[in-house]
Chains A and B, each alone.
Chain A
Amino acid sequence: MLHLITTRLLGAIPVLLLVTMAIFGLLRLAPGDAAELLLPDDATEEQIAETREAWGLDRPIWAQYGQFIGNLARFDLGESYRYRAPVFELIGERLPATLELSFYALVMAIVIAVPLGMIAALNKGKIIDAIVSVISISGVSAPSFWVGILLVLFFSGYLNLFPSSGRLPYGVSVPSVTGFVTFDALIAGSFDTFLQALKYLALPALTLTLAMIGIISRITRAAVIDAGQEEHVFTAVAKGMKRGTIVRRHLMPNAAIPIVTIIGLELGALISGSIIVEVVFSWPGIGTLLFQAISVRDMPLTTGAVASYTILFIALNLLIDIFYVLIDPRLRGHKA
């Protein structure tokens, strides 16, 4: 287990280098730079040139990258051009919001999609299976920005049930312990704030959830059907076990392996989806931060935000791998 964790963390280093290199290159290729975009329209050529020099934008790209890596080794991501604040701090402030949103979206997706897939598999070929199919295919087909806008129009605009942007109403705040507003509200003993926070979470989380339900429920269905055809399920029937017990004890644990795999793959979709969803719902996470950073070519902030996403993705995949080892004794046997 320790071996798994260390190899993964070491493997993350080249990935991070490649990702940051790509960001540097891409931002350089994009027209305009931070100095042009951030200074007021009436700024003189000289002022722009001065700013470029101050931020090091006049130096060659490889020199800028070299400096970035040098700083990174000291856990310094530089200072945002736009916010004039250390990138580390900016991300630290915003990360919990992104994590909270992703957490709820993922939990909802699993809680909805896994049972849906199971029901479809256990009623294979019946009407209920077809209904689940329709739900999953619509989930897969609808892009999240569009679903997000529809949800806002209907639930915020028309029904006025849920707020369409932000994390909490203006002026409401809770002392930060975990960074998750919902958890912090419960810790602070304020159930009202907890409910309010959930209302704010509802639409963005639902948008992300809907995008994941389709694939997770399809794969769950296939996994449960496959697991049901395994010989050991026959053995369990031949032992005289009830169908329900077999499903619970033998079928689901075996089906869990492919389901966990697809959830791992869906984490990528969740992360990229969360950027769009955060922008649509003005969710104060690193997605909106990244969006703002890119639009003004804020190099340190963009790189920092993308690097956080990369680390997040690697960490989540590591969690998935650890989970595998926990459910499958075959992976535990040899001391890797």
Chain B
Amino acid sequence: MTLSSDTRPADGTIAGQNAAPVLSARNLSLYIREGRNRIRIVSDVSFEIAAGEFFALVGESGSGKTMIARSIMRLLPASMLEIEGDLEFCGKSLTSLPENRMRALRGGAISMIFQEPMTSLDPLMPVGRQIEETLELHSDLNRRQRAERIETLLTDVRFAEPAKVAAMFPHELSGGMRQRAMIAMALANNPQLLIADEPTTALDVTIQREVMEIIQRLRRKYGLSVLFISHDLSLVHQYAERVGVLYGGVLMEAGPERDVIGRSAHPYTQALLNCAPGRRVAGERRRGIGGTVPSPRDWAPGCRFRDRCERADAACANSEIPVKDLSPEWRAKCLRPTE
């Protein structure tokens, strides 16, 4: 895990993991095009995900986490989202990959599930057919083999009657069932990396657990790396091995879960944890974070969290904030991290 800074150019070699990373983002910046202008929504973010690792990217709405998820597969056209810096998948650059080779990766080696299971399946097409489409694109299975594969996949995500479910339309399934069908679709071609963009946010708590358990089980079974985008700290605490905390498009703190969540150093991470239900001291009122996330238009030099930070002083507004190493794997972008 690296956090970029001006003082130490990220080169990917300081990662805590020894194996070659499945995904690495180096000095990634994202810009949204608005007419002739471009607005920076993600600044200089670097992280790596090792093979088989569960990595969580945490942040409030507007922190840029979904945009990072979408930039990896280049889901938004370059006319809408500009990517600077480098994204590498198993050592190959994704940013310079021609569109047709990118397409071969999408749904193949990299796949994705989305936040809204209600709308992320085509309402006019049977579920099985939608899974079959991705098999047609990335495998040379024949029709009968595809049907068998669909049954296996649906069984994998705990459907008791896979053949029946395959023939159903999305509206005939509940939210949790649809998300499971989405997972089946995402895993159809044995991907190496699964990007899960808030996959449980729209679901009931009990269903959340079920979906998370399925992801976890399949991750172990197939050695899948997971990039989990979420704002749910209890899920992150439970499942993630490493965590990155985003605020206003900047990676504030990153490292192993036991450090970042267990004894967080960055005031923003601490504030986030204070808001989380179940973590407050009995009798004490749960605290929110005062103020709001600054809009990308209002970004000024210095730390973006300083207006809401209890530890901020004049120095936080003036300079670029350095990244501090708290351990070989754990870093925070703050002038005054607690250690």
Chain A residues lying within 8 Å of B120, measured Cβ to Cβ, are 231-232, 234-235
How far is it, in angstroms, between the C-alpha of A254 and the C-alpha of B169 when the chains are bound?
14
In this assembly, does B138 line the interface, its C-beta being within 8 Å of a C-beta of chain A? yes
Residue contact B123 to A254, C-beta cutoff 8 Å: yes
Segment from A139-147, A172-180, A266-274, A323-331 that makes contact with B = A323-331
Chain A residues lying within 8 Å of B124, measured Cβ to Cβ, are 250, 253-254, 327-329
How far is it, in angstroms, between the C-alpha of A237 and the C-alpha of B103 when the chains are bound?
8
Residue contact A238 to B171, C-beta cutoff 8 Å: no
In this assembly, does B104 line the interface, its C-beta being within 8 Å of a C-beta of chain A? yes
Chain B residues lying within 8 Å of A236, measured Cβ to Cβ, are 122, 133
What string of 1s and 0s marks CB contacts (under 8 Å) between B152-191 and chain A?
0000000000000000010110000000001001000000
Given contacts A235-B182, A240-B134, A240-B137, contact A329 B123 (CB under 8 A): yes
Given contacts A237-B106, A238-B75, A238-B106, contact A329 B121 (CB under 8 A): no
Q: What class of interface size applies to chain A in its complex with B?
A: 20 to 34
State the Cβ distance, A148 to closest chain B Cβ, in Å: 39
How far is it, in angstroms, between the C-alpha of A232 and the C-alpha of B185 when the chains are bound?
13
Chain B residues lying within 8 Å of A84, measured Cβ to Cβ, are none
Residue contact A232 to B107, C-beta cutoff 8 Å: no
Residue contact B172 to A333, C-beta cutoff 8 Å: yes
In this assembly, does A3 line the interface, its C-beta being within 8 Å of a C-beta of chain B? no
Residue contact B171 to A240, C-beta cutoff 8 Å: no
In this assembly, does B73 line the interface, its C-beta being within 8 Å of a C-beta of chain A? yes
Determine which of A239, A249, A328 lies in contact with B107 in the assembled complex, contact meaning CB atoms within 8 Å. Answer: A239
Chain B residues lying within 8 Å of A59, measured Cβ to Cβ, are none
In this assembly, does A230 line the interface, its C-beta being within 8 Å of a C-beta of chain B? yes
State the Cβ distance, B146 to closest chain A Cβ, in Å: 14
Chain A residues lying within 8 Å of B114, measured Cβ to Cβ, are 231, 234-235
Residue on B nearest A254 in the bound complex, by CB: B124
In this assembly, does B111 line the interface, its C-beta being within 8 Å of a C-beta of chain A? yes
State the Cβ distance, B175 to closest chain A Cβ, in Å: 13
Given contacts A234-B75, A234-B114, contact A241 B169 (CB under 8 A): no
State the Cβ distance, B140 to closest chain A Cβ, in Å: 15
Chain A residues lying within 8 Å of B107, measured Cβ to Cβ, are 238-241
Determine which of B70, B106, B119, B171 lies in contact with A329 in the assembled complex, contact meaning CB atoms within 8 Å. Answer: B171
Determine which of A237, A253, A254, A328 lies in contact with B75 in the assembled complex, contact meaning CB atoms within 8 Å. Answer: A237
Interface residues in A232-269 (C-beta closer than 8 Å to B): 232, 234-242, 249-250, 253-254
Chain B residues lying within 8 Å of A237, measured Cβ to Cβ, are 73, 75, 106
What string of 1s and 0s marks CB contacts (under 8 Å) between A71-87 and chain B?
00000000000000000
In this assembly, does B105 line the interface, its C-beta being within 8 Å of a C-beta of chain A? yes
Chain B residues lying within 8 Å of A241, measured Cβ to Cβ, are 103, 107, 133, 137
What string of 1s and 0s marks CB contacts (under 8 Å) between A4-29 and chain B?
00000000000000000000000000
Residue on A nearest B195 in the bound complex, by CB: A238
Q: How many residues of B contact A (CB 8 A)?
A: 30
How far is it, in angstroms, between the C-alpha of A230 and the C-alpha of B171 when the chains are bound?
15
In this assembly, does B108 line the interface, its C-beta being within 8 Å of a C-beta of chain A? yes
Chain A residues lying within 8 Å of B182, measured Cβ to Cβ, are 235
Residue contact A232 to B121, C-beta cutoff 8 Å: yes
In this assembly, does B315 line the interface, its C-beta being within 8 Å of a C-beta of chain A? no
In this assembly, does B88 line the interface, its C-beta being within 8 Å of a C-beta of chain A? no
State the Cβ distance, A231 to closest chain B Cβ, in Å: 4
State the Cβ distance, A227 to closest chain B Cβ, in Å: 10
Residue contact A232 to B133, C-beta cutoff 8 Å: no
Residue contact B185 to A239, C-beta cutoff 8 Å: yes
Chain B residues lying within 8 Å of A239, measured Cβ to Cβ, are 106-107, 111, 133-134, 137, 185
State the Cβ distance, A248 to closest chain B Cβ, in Å: 12
Residue contact A232 to B112, C-beta cutoff 8 Å: no
Chain B residues lying within 8 Å of A327, measured Cβ to Cβ, are 124
State the Cβ distance, B87 to closest chain A Cβ, in Å: 16
Chain A residues lying within 8 Å of B70, measured Cβ to Cβ, are 234
In this assembly, does B259 line the interface, its C-beta being within 8 Å of a C-beta of chain A? no
Residue contact A240 to B108, C-beta cutoff 8 Å: yes
State the Cβ distance, B127 to closest chain A Cβ, in Å: 11
Residue contact B111 to A238, C-beta cutoff 8 Å: yes
What string of 1s and 0s marks CB contacts (under 8 Å) between A181-214 and chain B?
0000000000000000000000000000000000
Residue contact B121 to A235, C-beta cutoff 8 Å: yes
Residue on B nearest A237 in the bound complex, by CB: B75
What string of 1s and 0s marks CB contacts (under 8 Å) between B49-82 and chain A?
0000000000000000000001001010000000
Chain A residues lying within 8 Å of B121, measured Cβ to Cβ, are 232, 235
13 contacts between A and B (CB under 8 A): A232-B119, A235-B121, A235-B130, A235-B185, A240-B104, A242-B103, A253-B124, A254-B124, A328-B123, A328-B124, A329-B123, A330-B123, A333-B171
10 further A-B pairs in the complex, CB-CB below 8 A; given A240-B107, A241-B133, A329-B169: A230-B119, A231-B119, A231-B120, A232-B121, A232-B123, A236-B133, A238-B107, A240-B106, A250-B124, A254-B123
Q: Give chain A's interface residues, CB within 8 Å of chain B.
A: 230-232, 234-242, 249-250, 253-254, 327-330, 333
Lowest 6 CB-CB distances: which A-B pairs, in order? A239-B107, A240-B106, A240-B107, A231-B119, A329-B169, A239-B134
